[in-house]
Every structure is written in structure tokens, then in C-alpha cells.
Chains A and B, each alone.
Chain A
């Protein structure tokens, strides 16, 4: 039934948006492609899972995953990006070093989990289903939607309405001008990476709850998806990432529901391909394809 699938797609899409948002944020503000972002999602899922296995309640596990994701992301910025920053040629260097960071985090997770596929214990999240106008909505879906919306709203508030958010936008617009105004860019990098990682950590737990499979490689398909979502939404555009994430989740869900499973990725990526032919800069993108170079 179509309405049901659209709802499912929107809920999954909200989580995609949340995850892609962090990726887009780092790119939009610092022009850095953080290819270790998938590993942060996986870290969040692991922290959430092990916290629950240790007997902590889910809300606490969620908070730990958010904090943990943020800290891992900050750690990546400290080790993989910051040392490259003063060398001038940091663009490709950053891509390579974040791939390295990704591999290291994944290897650690592989060791910890013994290469196993894990899942949250049964009924970690209470299974409650509501029937609304003939559509089944689970409590988990509501939780996912509320989390995604709340975190995105908090992010928008932070960026658009606070003094710190203003400084973040200043660095995004012109880092040197911001520095001349007395903005310490290191603090801004710290904030951006922490927020980005926190969103990824939350997404990891939500995905772990929704798809029931947590393993050391789980971040990879989501990284690819986040990349595609950011290109679709327009690189660096926050609203773009939100809308494109919803679209991505929807196309994926509908394709899984109505078409042979093997076709899902082909459908998603060819749809994106077609959209990009019409809008080469993505749905909300401004600058031409050369953003990575020209905005430095």
C-alpha cells in the first residue's frame, strides 16, 4: 500500500538526512570531505549497543552514542585534518587521511565485535504499533521521526540564532575575514566536527534499532548514501541535505517495496543521475561543480 510505504520512506529518509547533514556541514563550512563519517555512524551504533548490553537504559545509551560520535569526530579532525591544514595542499591530503582514519576505526570495531553481526536485544525498544487512518505507525518510527526533527531543528537554531552559530557561518563564508574579526577558527572546527559526529552517532543508534544489524562495516553504505544525498541536495547546503535525505529514503523504500531487490541501488543512483542532469548543482546547490577548488 503506497501511503504506508511513503510513510516508511519518510521515516528512514529522516535518518538519512540526519546523517548526511553532518557530512554536508563539515563540507559546507570547512570544504573538507570527511570520508571517515561512516565510521562515526558505526561507532555511534556500537556505543549504543554495548551500553544497552551493559544494562544501561536506551535513552542513556543514546546520549552516550551522541557524545561518543561527537568525540570520535573531533578526534578525527585533530589527527587526520588539523595537521594538514597549515600545509596549504590539504584538499587531497584530507581525503586520503580520512580514508585512513576510516580504516583504523573500522579495524578496531572489527576486533571488538569479532567480525560478528550484532543486534539490539529483543524489545530494547518497545514494539508498539498504532493504526492511524489505515496506516501502521510504530512507536519506533515516531521516535525516529521526532529525533531527526528535533536534532535538525536544534541545529538550525544553533546556526541561525546563536552567537556561536553566527561565528560558524562567518567561517563558512570567509575564514580569513572571520579570523580578522577575532574568531578562533580552531573552536569552530571543534564545534562543527562535534556536531557532525553527534548527528552521526544518533543516526547510528536509530539505524541499529530500525534495521537490526550492527557490524563494523555498517557505515560504508551510509557514507556512500550521504555523499549521494549531499550531491543531490547541493554540496554544503543544509536544507538540501535534509530534503535530499528524505527523497533518498523514499526512493529506496518504494523501490524495495515494488521492484526486485537487486535493482534498488541501480534505481536510486539512476534517479539521482537524472535529477542531476536537470539540476547539475543539485536541488539547492549554488556554485558550479568546482566548489571544492574555488571556495578555498
Chain B
């Protein structure tokens, strides 16, 4: 469904991504893990059209979207839940969800506001409150719910577990897994490697702008190098 070939990206001349290739098949849930500054957000922003790659191609269902404007990409159903949630704090919770419908741009919705409310009851209870008054976890629910309102064909999530208590992290991952079960294709960026590998089918490991490992999540979570560097078990085996 999504195919990145040899993507390179840079910020004012400094390379952040080198020759990254990655695919996501329809119905899959794929993880992209890596340490701080590895280039995970840069990669998602390339896909979303916010950062223009200097070389390489990005195909969404066979159409090259590497030079398409970012709002057009979102309107085509490739929706990103950005790092730090980026909800609109001055708008109400309901307005944030309604704003999510912008991406529909004529396409049929796949989730109604009631379905999103059922999934995250707190968004219903707090619908007329300023979104900025929600807790971090609730804001993450809002950010995900808002993306669902735009009928995603492929959902990109940038560190949805960031700054959440363990119980909430679990809840977010459970939700994503449930969404994936209903057929939603997901690309999940995480630093929280263990949890991400637990809930996904396949994974990529990004290190300093390069893919250094890829494969089935189950297999990767037993790879000695991944164990050492990303699952915190390797201090003694170096």
C-alpha cells in the first residue's frame, strides 16, 4: 500500500535520512523504532509531505506522492497523528474532532463521531471543554480520534506513548491493535521498542537515518543486537 524507495532527506544540508526503503502492506501494523534523533519523525513527515525528500520515491497505492502538497496527502486518507499530539488547545474537544473531518474532503467517513465517542468515552464527556484542559492521555485519545474522523486509509502515529503512564500506554496500544483488527493499516513510530514489537506484525529499526534491521516483530524482538540496543538487555553483552 505504501512503498518508500531510497528516501534521503536533509535539514539545511545536514542529512537526516539516508537511503531509507520501507513498505507497509494493506492491513498490516508496522513498527518503526529508533532512538532519539534517529530520524523517525523526519521519515513520517516525508510521508506526510511536510518534509520534502531530496531523493527517492514514495508511492501510495502505486501513485508517487513525494511532491504532493501535505494537505492533499492528508485528504487522500494518509493521516498522521504527530509527535506531541498537537491537539488545538483553544478549541473544544468536539471542535477538534470536527476538524478531523476536514481530511474527508468528499470521501466517505469510516468512523462516525458516535463511534469515536464509544471508543473514547472521555471525549464525549468532555466535548465542550477546551481541548487544552485534557490530560496528556486524554489528549492522545483525542489526537487518535481526530485522525479517525478523517477516514484514514493508512494511519501514521508518531510516538503515541510519549509521556504517558504505563497503564495508558497499554490502553493506547490495545486501541491501536483493535483498530488494526478492524482492517486499518498502521505505521507506528516508537521509542518504546518492546511494546511496539509486541503489538506489530513487522518492524524496522532506524539508526542515524538508516534502516539497520527489518523483519517480523517477533523475530526482531529476539535479535541480539536489537535486544542490546533497544530492549535494554545488552549492557553486559557488549
For this complex, into which size category does the number of interface residues on chain A fall?
10 to 19
Q: A177 at interface (Cβ–Cβ under 8 A)? A: yes
Report the stretch among A10-18, A178-186, A257-265 that lies at the interface.
Answer: A178-186
Given A176-B86, A182-B105, the answer on whether A166 and B71 have CB atoms closer than 8 Å is no
Contact of B88 with A183 in the complex, beta carbons under 8 Å: no
Q: B174 at interface (Cβ–Cβ under 8 A)? A: no
Q: Mark B87-102, 1 if CB is under 8 A from A, else 0.
A: 1111100010011101
Q: A296 at interface (Cβ–Cβ under 8 A)? A: no
Contact of B50 with A170 in the complex, beta carbons under 8 Å: no
Contact of A177 with B88 in the complex, beta carbons under 8 Å: yes
A167 to B88, CA, bound (A): 11
Complex interface residues of chain B between 75 and 130 (CB less than 8 A to chain A): 75, 79-80, 82, 86-91, 95, 98-100, 102-105
Contact of B50 with A179 in the complex, beta carbons under 8 Å: yes
Contact of A173 with B79 in the complex, beta carbons under 8 Å: no
Contact of A182 with B71 in the complex, beta carbons under 8 Å: yes
Residue on B nearest A185 in the bound complex, by CB:
B71
Contact of B89 with A181 in the complex, beta carbons under 8 Å: no
Residue on A nearest B86 in the bound complex, by CB:
A177
Contact of A166 with B95 in the complex, beta carbons under 8 Å: yes
B106 CB to closest chain A CB (Å) equals 11
Across the interface, B103 reaches (CB within 8 A) one of A174, A176, A181, A185, namely: A181
Contact of A170 with B71 in the complex, beta carbons under 8 Å: no
Q: B48 at interface (Cβ–Cβ under 8 A)? A: yes
A104 to B100, CA, bound (A): 41
Count A/B pairs, Cβ under 8 Å: 64
A167 to B104, CA, bound (A): 14
Contact of B86 with A180 in the complex, beta carbons under 8 Å: yes
Contact of A182 with B95 in the complex, beta carbons under 8 Å: no
For this complex, into which size category does the number of interface residues on chain B fall?
20 to 34
Complex interface residues of chain A between 152 and 199 (CB less than 8 A to chain B): 163, 166-167, 169-170, 173-174, 176-185
Contact of A182 with B103 in the complex, beta carbons under 8 Å: yes
**Hey, which chain A residues are within 8 Å of B79, CB to CB?**
180-182
Residue on A nearest B75 in the bound complex, by CB:
A182
Given A176-B50, A182-B75, the answer on whether A170 and B98 have CB atoms closer than 8 Å is no
Q: Main SS of chain A's interface residues?
A: helix
Contact of A170 with B91 in the complex, beta carbons under 8 Å: yes
A112 to B168, CA, bound (A): 67
Across the interface, B91 reaches (CB within 8 A) one of A163, A173, A180, A182, namely: A173
Given A177-B82, A180-B80, A182-B102, the answer on whether A166 and B91 have CB atoms closer than 8 Å is yes
**Hey, which chain A residues are within 8 Å of B74, CB to CB?**
179-182
Contact of A167 with B86 in the complex, beta carbons under 8 Å: no
Q: B70 at interface (Cβ–Cβ under 8 A)? A: yes
A240 to B70, CA, bound (A): 34
Given A169-B91, A170-B88, the answer on whether A180 and B50 have CB atoms closer than 8 Å is yes
Contact of A180 with B100 in the complex, beta carbons under 8 Å: no
Q: B209 at interface (Cβ–Cβ under 8 A)? A: no
A117 to B191, CA, bound (A): 68
B210 CB to closest chain A CB (Å) equals 26
Contact of A173 with B90 in the complex, beta carbons under 8 Å: yes
Q: B40 at interface (Cβ–Cβ under 8 A)? A: no
Contact of B90 with A180 in the complex, beta carbons under 8 Å: no
Contact of B71 with A179 in the complex, beta carbons under 8 Å: yes
**Hey, which chain A residues are within 8 Å of B88, CB to CB?**
169-170, 173-174, 177-178
Given A166-B98, A167-B99, A176-B86, the answer on whether A181 and B91 have CB atoms closer than 8 Å is no
A169 to B95, CA, bound (A): 10
Contact of A170 with B99 in the complex, beta carbons under 8 Å: yes
Residue on B nearest A172 in the bound complex, by CB:
B90
Q: B202 at interface (Cβ–Cβ under 8 A)? A: no
A128 to B89, CA, bound (A): 49
Q: Mark B140-151, 1 if CB is under 8 A from A, else 0.
A: 000000100010
Complex interface residues of chain B between 32 and 69 (CB less than 8 A to chain A): 48, 50, 69
**Hey, which chain B residues are within 8 Å of A182, CB to CB?**
71, 74-75, 79, 102-105, 150
Given contacts A181-B150, A182-B74, A182-B150, 8 further A-B contacts (CB under 8 A): A166-B99, A176-B50, A179-B50, A179-B70, A180-B74, A180-B79, A182-B71, A182-B102
Can you list 12 A-B pairs with a CB-CB distance of less than 8 A? Answer: A170-B88, A170-B91, A176-B50, A177-B86, A179-B50, A179-B71, A181-B74, A181-B99, A181-B102, A181-B150, A182-B105, A183-B71
Closest 10 CB pairs of A and B: A182-B103, A177-B86, A182-B74, A173-B88, A182-B102, A182-B75, A184-B71, A179-B70, A180-B80, A182-B71
